[in-house]
Structure 1
Amino acid sequence: MRFNTLLLSLGAITAHPLSANVETITVYGHRSGLIGESISASSGVIGQGEIDSRAMLRSAEMLELIPGMAVTQHSGSGKANQYFIRGFNLDHGTDFATYIDGMPINMRSHGHGQGYTDLNFIIPETIATITYQKGSYHAEQGDFSSAGSAYFHLADNPTHQQLTLSIGEDNYTRAVAMASVAAGQGKVIGAAQWQGYDGPWQDINEDISKKNALLRYVGRAWDGDMSITAMAYDNRWNAADQIPRRAVRQGIITELGSLDKTLGGHSSRYSVSANWQGQRVSASAYLIDYKLDLFSNFTYFLNDPINGDQFQQYDERVISGAALGYTFSQQTSWPIEHRVGITLRNDNVGEVGLYNTRARQRLSTVREDSIDERSYSAYWHSQITISSKLEANLGLRYDYLEANVQSDNPSNSGDASDDLFSVKANINYLFTPQWAGYFNFAQGFHSNDARGATINLDPITLEATEQVDLLVRSEGGEIGVRYFDEQQFNFSTALWWLELDSELLFVGDAGNTEASDASRRYGLELSAYYWLNERFSVDMEASFTRSRLRNGTKDDRVEGAVPVVASAGVNWHINELWLSSLRFRHIGKRILSADGERRSQPLSVVNGLLSYRQTHWKVDVELLNMFNSQDHDIDYYYSSRLPGEADEGIADIHFHPIEPRTLRLSVSWLF
């Protein structure tokens, strides 16, 4: 069949046991899961083939393969990206959970932002699949998953070994090597990446030096599948932060200019993890050593007219954790498959600090803390097969989080703890072999920065300030349908809603709490994929969202919310050797002020890929921002002060432009 042939060319095949006597083979390929294989109308699996055939400016844009998700940047290439989904400006990941090889990626009580999600440590070629779920409808989804989650699965069986060299404009260079060798009852997989880039900016040289490495053993042990993985990442960069619109209009700088030329940072992440999967039991453990040293300046001379407002955020921590799961069946009139599990996580933050700086030299300390934060979770998920057409899922989850904060101001030190019990449920009904319907409901949550849960005095004004809850409840649901035609067509749509008890949060850029209210979001999502024949396919995705604060006033807009995200693509297998793709992405006008009066301009960009592939060679040509759009990656509205302006500064749009059109060439030797 044409569709199955395409899946096999794009995806990966895995086997997983459903019972002691039955083994199912699942073909992972395009974004939407197969009928009956997903508990949600907005979940699916992305294969390595699709990652490999997507033109990407940054590695984090792998997440844009999730329908309705947008990835942008407002600073240097070494900093975590900005993420948008389901009406959320997730900042750097507050309400979208990410994992790799059993390890969480989101950072709790991070120096720059809660849930900080930096994907720069991932080598895209080492990923086999990305499993995603929008919403928090499964019992295994915990912290940060209110809007959804993504799981990066490392490759156990790479299709080939490779050596790739890439070059591009603005001194873009990248080298990747990946190989595997047999070792006993398994194999050892190794990969390394180096990337350099100067960037298109007129006043700075990004001078990126990114180094990644992976060493992985996969094999059989104790009647199960085992993997042990070590990963390493180190990156240094200079940054072009967002700039005020008036500085461009007055001719002080161009859109590619910078007002503070000493921004940037250094980040590193080293980890080791182990995973074991038996017939019924699974176990995992991990240890991560992480550091970030980041210099930013968003307001220039508003707070300090002499030295400027540059500040340093520092985060140094060790994260450890483990998980244990058990699957068993219950034979009743309705077959039931149960999954129970526990997870443990500890963030030992040796130092998390905010400092006033000038040209990366410390002038004073705003606040400096050490944090010990621990979580304990337990869940129970039951899948009930009522008939060949009807399936129900019920999940129960309990989370307990405790933290100890030791601050340089004793008034802001203390202990905090919180717990939540969550219920998750969904029903799937197969109307016909092609049509399926879904209804999902879930309670979820995100954790807040522990410093916000113990703060009593603003670190700058020393005035009393409001504390945040350590855990914030979310509640939402969706109803959706999916049509699946093995020959040509795949379509899904979902109506969803999500409420947060509070959007009050701790602001890492200021060291204090920022008040907000409870919120409500609801929207419509559409996805369609059409295969005209074995060589030509098109896809379209759109997400429409309404986001409001529940404060009973006219100023009820959620700042940063995105009402519309849309994308479309064309894939053409010209012949057996040539492949091309064209991708369009659109982000609608983002809300920048609570009254809704200030909005950003929309963002539209087109990327293209032309690829030549044979048995042992592959050549890729990427044309990014094909039509040289001058739209903005991100826009904010706040006050800043330039030299000579009034002491109170000027409220203005601050933006970071998308990078101009750029051409990149990659040559890969496959063996």
Structure 2
Amino acid sequence: MTASSEKFFTGKEVNALPFARPGDALEIVPGLVVTQHSGEGKANQYFLRGFNLDHGTDLALYLDGMPLNMRTHGHAQGYADSNFLIPELLSYVLARKGPYDAQDGDFSSAGSIYMQYKDRIDKGFFQLTGGSFAYARALAVAPYQDFAGGAAYGAVEAQYYNGPWERGDNMRRLNSVLRWSRGTQEDGASVTFMGYANKWYGTDQIPSRAVSAGLLSLWGTMDPTAGGATSRFSLSSRWSQIDGDHATRVEAYVVHSTLDLYSTYTYFLAHQNLGDQIRQFDDRTLVGVNAQHAIRWADVSGAPIETRVGFQGRYDDIRLGLQESVRRQLYDTLSNNAVGEGSIGVWTDTTIRWTPWLKTVTGARFDYYNAAVSSRQTLLDAPKLVTSAGLPAFLLTGPFNQGVKNASLFSPKLSIIVGPFYKTEFYANYGEGFHSTDARGTVLRVSTAELADNDGFAQAAAIPLLVKSRGAEIGARAKFIEGLDSSISLFWLNLESENQFVGDSGTTIFGRPSRRYGLELANKYAPNAWIRFDGDVALVQARYRGVDVAQTLAWLDLMTPDALPYGTFLGNAPGNYLSNAIAVTAMGGLELGEATGWFGALKYRYFGARALTEDGYFNSPATGALNARMGYRWSDGWRLQFDAFNIFNSRSDQITFAYGSLLPSDPLYAQCVAGVAPAQVCGVGVMDRHLKPLEPAAVRVTLAGPLTFDASLVGAFDRAELFSRLPN
């Protein structure tokens, strides 16, 4: 461990607390909030250290050495879908926060999470789960102990879920893992295949004004055809070797993924007659390699030293685009691109143990990116607009929004570890990191959705390919009480720019520099073998730096005498609040039980109110939910388990946004259709809070048992064991 905020969790610890969806398992990382604003097949929404990480822009996720973040993605930069995760297969989860480790590259400014599947499964098992709102899941895992000189196992998962929504999610998911390995993670090899497919309907966020007026149920949707389909297939391998004072590890992977997504966020704002449904698609193949070599040696004074040198290479071959549609019927294309994006990263760090109580880690990495963007948009599918003279115009922007972009960055790192003193260590860290941006935004020259006032192309601002971050942290980790592991961290992080490409509109927005700082406390206490407590809290302040000139000008347009009576300026004033930057997060967990017998668990998750607009006019409510688990494990491998979610039936928001939209029931809608309302007001619509509620109280029952290929059912559980005593 080189930072007080760095955490390691075993797969058993991850699975001990109840969670409703695979991505929620990652909430074991202190301060991390994982939620969902659409259907169950879309990537989760992540929040950490004052970042609204969208679907992963500044949180790097890895599984078995494969990056989950997708750059230049059809829906969101850094899109990281963890829905294909099978938590029961996890060996461990390693979480690092901040850009302090040389190994961590793209998307790691807020943190990096490394997940590793087990190399071996000792005993086969199956489990069947059913519950509220037509939830059903089946999982089977079968090991092969002697196979081709190593060990292998296969896992197959099928899941269905409808949810509490009036338009059911009708989510159908199939998932599989085949893995062969020999040796250990440090000295051995493995080959893994993963296959995953998911299809669903999605109830997106809904306008609170429609719910308040009784026009829409809390479980309703503005678009019953929203939803999508996704798939992911991967083949990965690892080779590692320890030879005396040398250690080598090489990981290689090839991944093919697809996403076809239909969404409606602004309803009838842009198109009063057709509606604002969009289709985003992404079809890519990516290949990559991670290699590192470590050498242990000593200087002339005898101080132990370890030097690591690493190489990371990746290439994405991408087809993606943005189209407009009505009930999934396409009628024009805003962008349709082929992108080839490659990168290489070279990194090194050296750890020196100067004295028994002083250790330093100095490192650096160099990254080079190259992206080539070409357009596939044609005149026939280009948006059809109307000029100021009432004449038709084809907005063919593709030929102008293409080109080649490259960028490079050097990122130094430093960590100082002092101690232990009385089982306490102190840490100081500094590092520079970065995230890549959508390559389409780097070659953008003209708007893909609107004409200029003179009926020509509207100019659009390009953005840099790489955006730097700088962060520092001080903290301590203590174990002076038997069974208690506590840490405290104070951190600071500056992002050079919040520039981003907006996949939902095909344009860029200018983001100012930002600053985040905060305090994190994390505790894990296990006084004996059958009880464990977890508790953490994070306090963060996140603000923009500087003045938002573009937002100021837009706000002034809404303050003119003709626009002022509509009140659209509320929520659009310039300010320094970072939208959806959660200021307070907390998690408490309780685990009871041993390997056999009765067991139980509680998990409480809380994230506080936060500003939803730059000026802080719109705010979200705080959200808290309690989950519970109770069950019994038999000594022969059978398990009966009951999980309950949101047991106090909180009606707070699962996620919240604030922006302008337009509904046919809005008085402004008729005025915009008639051309009475000012154009700048109709361009914004009605500012409102848009939410997706927490799912109501739900229960699930799981039956698990041993899986063999014998003709008979073995190891049937003994019901008399249910009456054994709880552990002392």
**Normalised TM-score (structure 2):** 0.85
Contact 2:512 2:547 in 1 (8 A): no
Look up the match of 1:366. 334
Please, which of 420, 425, 428 is the counterpart of residue 417 of structure 2? 428
In structure 2, how many angstroms separate the alpha carbons of the residues matched to 1:340 and 1:541? Answer: 34
1:539 and 2:559 matched? no
Please, which of 316, 321, 327 is the counterpart of residue 347 of structure 1? 316
1:186 and 2:125 matched? no
Deviations, residues 436-486 of structure 1 (Å, cap 9, x unaligned): 100000000000000010000110123111111100000001000111146
In structure 2, how many angstroms separate the alpha carbons of the residues matched to 1:160 and 1:97? Answer: 32
Deviations, residues 226-264 of structure 1 (Å, cap 9, x unaligned): 000000000000000000001101111111111111110
Contact 1:46 1:131 in 2 (8 A): yes
Residues 1:71 and 1:260: Cα distance change in structure 2 (over 3 Å): same
In structure 2, how many angstroms separate the alpha carbons of the residues matched to 1:575 and 1:397? Answer: 44
Look up the match of 2:130. 167
1:588 and 2:624 matched? no
Aligned-partner SS, 2:24 = helix
In structure 2, how many angstroms separate the alpha carbons of the residues matched to 1:361 and 1:494? Answer: 51
Look up the match of 1:317. 284
State which drifts further: 112-121 or 609-618.
Answer: 609-618
- The Cα RMSD (Å) is 1.5
Look up the match of 1:411. 400
Letter matched to residue 398 of structure 1? F
Residues 1:575 and 1:194: Cα distance change in structure 2 (over 3 Å): closer
Aligned-partner SS, 1:339 = strand
1:53 and 2:44 matched? no
Look up the match of 1:632. 653
How many Å apart are 1:330 and its aligned residue? Answer: 2.7
In structure 2, how many angstroms separate the alpha carbons of the residues matched to 1:517 and 1:143? Answer: 20
Among all aligned residue pairs of Structure 1 and Structure 2, give the percentage whose two residues are the same amino acid.
Answer: 37
Please, which of 258, 274, 280 is the counterpart of residue 291 of structure 1? 258
Aligned-partner SS, 1:309 = coil
Contact 2:122 2:143 in 1 (8 A): no
How many Å apart are 1:52 and its aligned residue? Answer: 2.0
Deviations, residues 171-216 of structure 1 (Å, cap 9, x unaligned): 11000011111213211111010000111102x1211110000101
In structure 1, how many angstroms separate the alpha carbons of the residues matched to 2:292 and 2:283? Answer: 30
Please, which of 75, 81, 100 is the counterpart of residue 137 of structure 1? 100
In structure 2, how many angstroms separate the alpha carbons of the residues matched to 1:159 and 1:600? Answer: 47
Letter matched to residue 2 of structure 2? I
How many Å apart are 1:223 and its aligned residue? Answer: 11
In structure 1, how many angstroms separate the alpha carbons of the residues matched to 2:187 and 2:607? Answer: 45
Look up the match of 2:622. 602
Please, which of 447, 455, 461 is the counterpart of residue 458 of structure 1? 447
Please, which of 157, 160, 163 is the counterpart of residue 199 of structure 1? 163
Deviations, residues 532-554 of structure 1 (Å, cap 9, x unaligned): 43323322100000001111577
Deviations, residues 535-577 of structure 1 (Å, cap 9, x unaligned): 2332210000000111157711111111010111222228940
Deviations, residues 368-407 of structure 1 (Å, cap 9, x unaligned): 1110000011001111111111110011100000000002
Letter matched to residue 494 of structure 1? S
Letter matched to residue 318 of structure 1? T
Please, which of 265, 274, 292 is the counterpart of residue 228 of structure 2? 265
In structure 2, how many angstroms separate the alpha carbons of the residues matched to 1:385 and 1:300? Answer: 60
How many Å apart are 1:336 and its aligned residue? Answer: 1.0
Deviations, residues 482-527 of structure 1 (Å, cap 9, x unaligned): 1114623221100000000000100000001011100000000001
Task: Mark the structure with the bigger radius of gyration.
Answer: 2
Residues 1:44 and 1:234: Cα distance change in structure 2 (over 3 Å): same
Contact 2:17 2:591 in 1 (8 A): no
In structure 2, how many angstroms separate the alpha carbons of the residues matched to 1:157 and 1:486? Answer: 34
How many Å apart are 1:433 and its aligned residue? Answer: 4.2
How many Å apart are 1:51 and its aligned residue? Answer: 2.0
Look up the match of 1:643. 664
1:42 and 2:5 matched? yes
Letter matched to residue 187 of structure 1? A
In structure 2, how many angstroms separate the alpha carbons of the residues matched to 1:221 and 1:166? Answer: 32
In structure 1, how many angstroms separate the alpha carbons of the residues matched to 2:208 and 2:606? Answer: 22
Aligned-partner SS, 1:452 = helix
Contact 1:274 1:286 in 2 (8 A): yes
In structure 2, how many angstroms separate the alpha carbons of the residues matched to 1:311 and 1:177? Answer: 38
Q: Alignment length, in residue pairs?
A: 632
In structure 2, how many angstroms separate the alpha carbons of the residues matched to 1:670 and 1:71? Answer: 32
Deviations, residues 346-384 of structure 1 (Å, cap 9, x unaligned): 0000x2010001111111111111100000110011111
How many Å apart are 1:315 and its aligned residue? Answer: 0.3
Residues 1:621 and 1:293: Cα distance change in structure 2 (over 3 Å): same
Equivalent runs, 1:419-568 vs 2, <5 Å = 419-461=408-450, 462-485=457-480, 487-552=482-547, 555-568=575-588
How many Å apart are 1:286 and its aligned residue? Answer: 0.6
Contact 1:610 1:620 in 2 (8 A): yes
In structure 1, how many angstroms separate the alpha carbons of the residues matched to 2:275 and 2:304? Answer: 66
How many Å apart are 1:224 and its aligned residue? Answer: 4.0
Q: Report runs of 4+ in structure 1 exceeding 6 Å deviation.
A: none
In structure 1, how many angstroms separate the alpha carbons of the residues matched to 2:647 and 2:412? Answer: 46
How many Å apart are 1:644 and its aligned residue? Answer: 4.1
Residues 1:222 and 1:587: Cα distance change in structure 2 (over 3 Å): closer
Letter matched to residue 690 of structure 2? H
In structure 2, how many angstroms separate the alpha carbons of the residues matched to 1:134 and 1:670? Answer: 38
Structure 1 alignment gaps of length 5 or more: 1-37
In structure 1, how many angstroms separate the alpha carbons of the residues matched to 2:589 and 2:140? Answer: 29
Contact 2:17 2:589 in 1 (8 A): no
How many Å apart are 1:94 and its aligned residue? Answer: 0.2
Contact 1:179 1:190 in 2 (8 A): yes
State which drifts further: 332-341 or 86-95.
Answer: 332-341
Contact 1:59 1:119 in 2 (8 A): yes
Deviations, residues 564-607 of structure 1 (Å, cap 9, x unaligned): 10111222228940111111110001220111222100010000
1:398 and 2:366 matched? yes
Letter matched to residue 309 of structure 1? D
Aligned-partner SS, 1:278 = strand
State which drifts further: 527-536 or 610-619.
Answer: 527-536
Contact 2:277 2:324 in 1 (8 A): yes
Look up the match of 1:213. 176
State which drifts further: 254-263 or 483-492.
Answer: 483-492
In structure 2, how many angstroms separate the alpha carbons of the residues matched to 1:367 and 1:555? Answer: 32
State which drifts further: 633-642 or 547-556.
Answer: 547-556
Contact 1:185 1:220 in 2 (8 A): no
Look up the match of 1:12. none
Residues 1:654 and 1:187: Cα distance change in structure 2 (over 3 Å): same
Aligned-partner SS, 1:481 = strand
Look up the match of 2:392. none
In structure 1, how many angstroms separate the alpha carbons of the residues matched to 2:38 and 2:413? Answer: 37
Contact 1:64 1:70 in 2 (8 A): yes
Contact 1:53 1:609 in 2 (8 A): no
Contact 1:618 1:670 in 2 (8 A): no
